[in-house]
Structure formats: structure tokens, C-alpha cells
Chains A and B, each alone.
Chain A
Amino acid sequence: MTRTLTIATRYVPLLILALAWEAAPTFGLVSTHTLPTLSSVLVALGKLTLSGDLLVHGASSLYRTAAGLGLAIVAGTTAGLFMAWSGLVQAIVQPVIRLFYPMPKSALIPVLALWLGFGDGSKIALIFLGCLLPITIGAYNGARGSEQTLVWSARSLGASRLRMLWDVMVPSALPELLAGIRIALAYSFILLVSSELVAAQKGLGYMIGMLGEGGVYDAMFAMVLTIGALGFFADRAFQHGARRILQWQE
């Protein structure tokens, strides 16, 4: 009870901001053309929900994020673990990572649209590529940091190399791997919105761009609010899950 109360009081400033948003255009401090009132935005959000637009475009955006991020988690974790497991793999993969890591992946939007078109494929590929490296580096740094004594004990107890990978390196890589995935989660939403703004026919980012160009600002703000909320709740849900997974550590 007290916990919910503290959480509630913690978010009072957000409520104040919401009230200020409602008040500023209502009392004519700013024009409703530059900032529609929060209530009109919420009404627009309701309309978009009822008409099914929100569901269709939201589902397509979420599918792209989930597919791209999911593929990146599988491939990045595998690559990172194998890099830590074998010096040869590390020597081969590391230079490629160093070359591509500093490149802003948003630069790939036009090429991927050229190759894969305006549909799901180009967005999934972009999110996959953008999320791959932070996850690989997280998995690699985590696995590389596994305590040498644990590795030695496992070896002396007769664990095979593959067994060691699974039983020693994977668990000790988890905290850094999860931190990497959290960064990737943030990237995935940024890349999703950017690519949908530039080259798409569906999705929340596409709707934001289209509504903005059409001058339907209350609906546009509603879509921005939706994407913001999705990013926020995805991050909170992930953090909650990560804490669960890491419970076995003190």
C-alpha cells in the first residue's frame, strides 16, 4: 500500500506537466495549432483506437521491432559467446565489429529500402543490424569476464568445452548481456520510428509523418504519445524481467 503510494507521489511531476500541457493552449498561452490540448489529443487517440487504425499500425510496428530485436538477440548472443569461447572466432569477428560499430545505422535506411522495399523486411533488417552489435559486445564482455577460477574448476571437474560454454559462461555473461539488450531495445525503437518516417506504408512512424503532413495535429500528437508510451513500457517491462532473471545473484 505504502509502496503504491510512494510510486504515485513520485509521478506527481508528470501529472503537473500534463496539466500544464492542458492549460497552456486552453488559456491561449500558445496557439492550439502549435500545441493541441491534451484532452483533444486523448479524444483523437480514442478515435484512432475505435477506428482500428491504432491497432493495425501499432501491431505492424511492434511486429517489426520484435522480429528485428529477437533475431539480433539470438545472433548477437551466439556471436558474443563464441567470441569469448574461442580466440580464433574473436580474432575474426572483432575487426568487423570495430569497423561497423561507430557507424550510425540510420545511414542504412535508404539502401535497405532500395534492397528490400517499403515493407516489413527493410525495417526488420535495419533493427536487426542496429541491435546486433550492442548485444554481441554485451555477451562477449560478460562471457570474457567469467571468473577464471570457475572456468578452471569446471575444467578440473571434467566439463567439456561445450558444457563449459553453457554452464559457466552463459550464466556469468547474463548481467552484461542483459545490459546490452537494454541498449538494443532503445535503439530498436529509434530505428523503427526513423525508418517508418522515411520509407513505409504502415506503422506508427508512418502515421506520425502522414498526419503531420496532413496537418491533423491532435492525431499526430496521439501517435507520438503512443510510441513514447510503447518505448517506456517496453523498457520498464524489460528491466522487470531482467531483475527476475538475475535473482540468483545475491
Chain B
Amino acid sequence: MAGVEQTAACRPPARRALPELRLAARLRACLPFLMIALLLAAWEIVAHSPLVTPFMLPPIEAVADRLVADAAGGDVVRNLSATLARTAIGFSLAAAVGIALGILMVHNRIVFWFFDPVISAGFPVPKVALLPIFILWFGLYDVSKIMLIAANAVFPVVTATVLGLRGVDRHLIWSARSLGAGERRIAWEIVLPAALPQILTGLQIALPISLIVAIVSEIVMSGDGLGGAMMEGARSLDSPAVFAGIVEIAAAGYCLVKLVELARRRLLVWHSETTTNFG
């Protein structure tokens, strides 16, 4: 209830809706679509101009044809599901290990002493460079890709879990304890919900990283998946296939980001952050 009152209080005083203002607001609402239309138009014009060859920039209709053909032939579904499956498995592995390790680090001094420098030194290291090593260790197929995804995604999860658990208000725990709550109940009903926003932020950073690494590993190692299909197109100098690949990957990324935002809003309905939003 407090949240509702707050948003009402923050709202600027109602402006008299002058007709020209309303028109401006309406134009403004159209602007995003206008910009996207402009971008597409620019692509089409440049593609048909003598500035570029159709090889460098195929026109939209060629790419669209390819997308439709890929979709009809089942290639899109096959490659998309291969990429998303790797992303999901690697990400889940990173989430499980990361959250578990974070909890252990907060509860056990020795675990913290050992892993804190390892995590903080390993975080900024570009783990993609491990790819050839992982190929050596885990072979040319799915396992090395999944391990690489997990190796990249685990760091933000651990860091966020530790920060989240550390940041839980001590008074909440003390009050619960003095009211007779057992440790297990405190963990589930106080600590976990209080740390959840931070942990979710960590997962939210880890998921796009997982997709990026999945695509990179597919591009480098070839095989199936969106990245592999795109690389195959590039090798056979089939540029509509490359551009169709970019569109498919962009769409996958877009859906993933939206999905996480939705999940976050669902899980944190009770939290005050849900009322504020990025731009």
C-alpha cells in the first residue's frame, strides 16, 4: 500500500493537456518504431546502392527469404534449440555451483579465505581464452562448450550471492531469532528473500554472458547451433545466411533478456524496486 501512495506522490502535477502537447506525446510514442523503420530503410537503400556489393550487404528481402526458408526447413528450430540448450545447461550449472559456493563462503571462514582471492582474481580474466584448453580436456563437442559457459557465468553468481547474503540486515535475523524462529526457518524466510534481489542481479548478468559464450564457442568450434550455422555460411561465402544468423541470434538474445526481466518482476513483486524501472 505504501508503494502505491509513494508513486502517487512522486507523479508530477497533472499538466493541462494542450492539443499540441498531446500531438507531441503521440509523435514521441511513435518515435521508436520510426527509428527502427529508418534503420531498415537505410539498410535497404545502402544494399541496393552501388556502394556495396550484395555479397557485403544483402538486401533485406534476401535475408528474409533465407530466414523463411530456414524456418520452414526446421533449421532454425534445430539450431536455436541446440544453442539454447547449451546456454541453459551451462547457465544452470553456473547458477547451482555459484549459489552453493556463495552460501558456503558466507558460512565457512576457511572456504571464504580460499575462494575469495580466487574469485576476485578470476573474475576479470577473459575465460574465453580457456576454450582450446577445454577442447583438450573435454573434447570437441557439447561438454567443452557447456563447461566454458559455466566457467564464464559462475563468477557473477558467486560474487552476487556473497554480497547479497552479507548485506542482509542483522536486525531482521536477530528479531526472528528472539521471536523463536529456528535457523532453518530464518534461512528460508529471512535470509533468502532478503538476499534474493542481489542474487537475481548476479543471475541476470550471468545469463547474457552464457549466451555470448555459447555463440562464441559455436563460432570457434563449428558444429550445430546458431553460431555454427552462421560460421558455415561465412565459410561458404553465403552472406544472406550470415545475416540471417545475426537476426536469429539477436532475436534469441532479445527474448532471453525479456524473459529474465519478467522473471525478476514476478519473483520480486514484494520488493520496492519493482515500482522503479530503467528508462
CB of B220 within 8 A of CB of A114, answer no
Contact between B132 and A14 (Cβ–Cβ < 8 Å)? Answer: no
Q: Does B13 contact A (CB under 8 A)?
A: no
Q: Are A95 and B208 in contact (CB under 8 A)?
A: no
Q: By the criterion CB–CB under 8 Å, are A234 and B129 in contact?
A: no
Residues on the A chain within 8 Å of B128, using CB: 190, 193-194, 197
B256 sits at the interface (CB 8 A)? yes
With beta carbons under 8 angstroms apart, the residue of B124, B220, B242, B258 that contacts A197 is B220
B31–A95 CB distance below 8 A:
yes
From B212, which residue of chain A is reached at the shortest CB distance?
A: A104
Q: In the complex, what residue of chain B is closest to A226 when comparing beta carbons?
A: B129
> Which of chain B's residues have a CB closer than 8 A to the CB of A198?
219-220, 231
In B195-249, which residues have CB < 8 Å from any A CB? Answer: 208, 211-212, 215-216, 219-220, 226-227, 230-231, 233-234, 239, 242-243, 245-246, 249
Chain A: how many interface residues by the 8 Å CB criterion?
61
B219 partner, pick from A110, A186, A235, beta carbons under 8 A: A110
Q: Which residues of the partner chain A approach B55 to less than 8 Å between Cβ atoms?
A: 114
A96-B39 contact in complex given A104-B215, A114-B239, A208-B132, C-beta closer than 8 Å: yes
What is A's interface to B at a CB cutoff of 8 Å?
10-14, 16-17, 34, 91-92, 94-96, 98-111, 113-115, 140-141, 144, 185-186, 189-190, 192-194, 197-198, 204-205, 208-209, 211-213, 217, 220-221, 223-224, 227-228, 231-232, 234-236
| Residue B267, interface by CB 8 Å | no
- A211: chain B residues within 8 A (beta carbon): 132
Contacting residues, chain A, for B249 (C-beta < 8 A): 103-104, 107
Contact of A232 among B31, B124, B231, B278 (CB under 8 A): B124
Question: Sorted from nearest, which 4 A-B pairs have the closest CB atoms?
Answer: A212-B132, A235-B124, A95-B32, A110-B234
User: Residues of B contacting A14 with CB < 8 Å?
Assistant: 117-118, 121
Proximity string of chain B (122-146) to chain A, C-beta cutoff 8 Å, 1 when within and 0 when not: 0111101111110111000000000
A106 touches B219 (CB 8 A): yes
Contact of A224 among B31, B33, B130, B258 (CB under 8 A): B130
Which residues of B have CB within 8 Å of A11? Answer: 117, 121
A-B contact pairs, 12 of them (CB 8 A): A34-B136, A92-B35, A94-B279, A99-B39, A103-B250, A104-B249, A104-B253, A107-B250, A110-B233, A198-B219, A231-B124, A236-B124
Residues in chain B near residue A223, CB distance under 8 A: 129
The reply to whether A111 and B246 contact each other, CB–CB distance below 8 Å, is yes
Q: What's the nearest-Cβ distance from chain A to residue B36, in Å?
A: 6
Q: Give me 17 other A-B pairs in contact (C-beta within 8 A), A95-B35, A208-B129 excluded.
A: A11-B117, A102-B208, A103-B246, A110-B231, A110-B233, A111-B243, A113-B234, A204-B129, A209-B132, A213-B132, A217-B136, A220-B132, A223-B129, A228-B129, A231-B125, A232-B124, A232-B125
Does A110 lie within 8 Å of B230, measured CB to CB? yes
Judge whether B215 and A34 touch: CB under 8 Å: no
- Expressed in whole angstroms, the Cα–Cα distance for A211 and B133 within the complex equals 11
* Closest A residue by C-beta to B133: A224
B56: chain A residues at CB < 8 Å are 114-115
Q: Which residues of B contact A92 (CB under 8 A)?
A: 31, 35
Task: Tell me whether B270 is interfacial, beta carbon within 8 Å.
Answer: no
Chain A neighbourhood of B114, CB < 8 A: 13, 16
Asked whether A186 and B133 contact (CB < 8 A) given A13-B117, A114-B56, the answer is: no
